[in-house]
Chains A and B, each alone.
Chain A
Amino acid sequence: MTALARRRRPRLTRTFSIAATALAVLTLAGMAVLFAAQSLPVWQHAGLSYLTGTEWFYRDESFGVASMLYGTIAVACVAVGLAAPIGIGAAVATSELLPPHVRVAVKGAIELLAGIPSVVFGLLGVLFLRGFVYDGLDAGGFDPLSGDTLLTAGVLLAVMILPTVMTLSDDALRAVPDTQRKAARGLGLTRVEVVVRVVLPQAARGLVSAVLLALGRALGETIAVYLVVGRRDNQFPESLLTLRPIVEPGQTLSSKLGGSEASVAWGDPLHWGAIVGLAVVLLALVTTVTLVGTALARGGVRDAR
């Protein structure tokens, strides 16, 4: 290889990488700008009440996303509330307590779950989870309307984000150097105490980041939520402390976007703007959560070194 060719090689790679990165960034920026532009009519029509209004009646041209924001956050909270303890617990088991060959098998099995398409989860939810939740709520005295509730969607999402939480938590736990564990054992701590007192606190940042990144996926999940959430608009509780809305049908940002109203809205600038506005809100939400999650992850690794 000539000396000239050797000098050209790194420059070509650099140019190609920069071009690819630019393409990705421009696509994201272009998307955000396009959404913002198309949603302009609804901002002019409703202003800030678009975000704070709890009523969405498209035929009366009244657009408020607060009820859907509530639904999204409620479903996400249920999902994270179930997936975080189980996922982190599983990660503790695989990274700290299980022997290596068992660890590989368990981790592989859980990561298989991550590869299952969302619509399969949605159909399983319709087939089994809905009936289970309906009967369960009935037995618990809640007098449910049907098996389609925010709770059902939350449980389904928990199963879907579990592999993500588990894998990322496992990585966070393994980033804690072994010297810490050895030193703790040397001081006489039991295995459980080592995990609880030494490893978990050090990996805390990474664990929070794992949960946040999984939350980012949960916020945007559409098909599975669409099939089991009930899709009832304007469910905003009088008091945020009651649990009643969780066992009632509701609507989330993603289930509204995945529904048929988008096709009905096409052609009417205001209605279409309102629908695209939902996408803008969802994009902002997911971006924020993901950015915070990624920032925390990076910080965690630096601390452990």
Chain B
Amino acid sequence: MAKILIVEDDKHINELIKRNLSLLGHNCISCYDGKSALKYLYGEDYDLILLDVMLPEISGFELMRKLDKETVIFVTAKGELEDKLQGLSLGAQDYIVKPFEMLELIARVNVVLHRQHKDSKIFQLGNTRVDLQQHRVTRNGEEVLLTPREFRLLEVLIQNRNIALSREKLLELAWGFDYQGETKTVDVHIQKLRKKLNWETEIKTIQKFGYRLHG
């Protein structure tokens, strides 16, 4: 659960990012131009700033130069190599080009938060507690034993919770790109997780698509 400032002048896109990240439990604050961003940043600390480059009056790059030690990901339509190089050399953690898929944004945000040690290590849902760092799951205080693969799948569901993931995507994220197997194995493992954690309703089946963790 991180505190994220979204600096994007297009209200709709700003809203879109905010809603998606909120699903993951992050606390998101929106602002629409550079000046108000500075005002927000002056008073408080943020775990992450999502910064657009094309802002009125003061560009994202200029704003970046005024920041110090902030964790920043650039989210912008300016996709030329020079722009990317400039953004990254100014000290940004990542540089995403619009248009992008939500899952990609979420994955990159997670990686950056993890790198900065600002991601939450514990996920709690009902009486189940998942320690992502120690790879332990407890239910009502009692440990639940999961195979490494099952845990990895659980981790993926948690990191993308409230968002539907296709079977192919789950396979890719939990088994890796090299895996040559069938998506049937995803169904099997989901079943196992449901049984072990008693999460029949929490892990929802999305018809003809995949699964979604509600939490």
Do A and B interact? no
- B-side interface residues toward A, CB under 8 Å? none
A residues near B (Cβ < 8 Å) are none
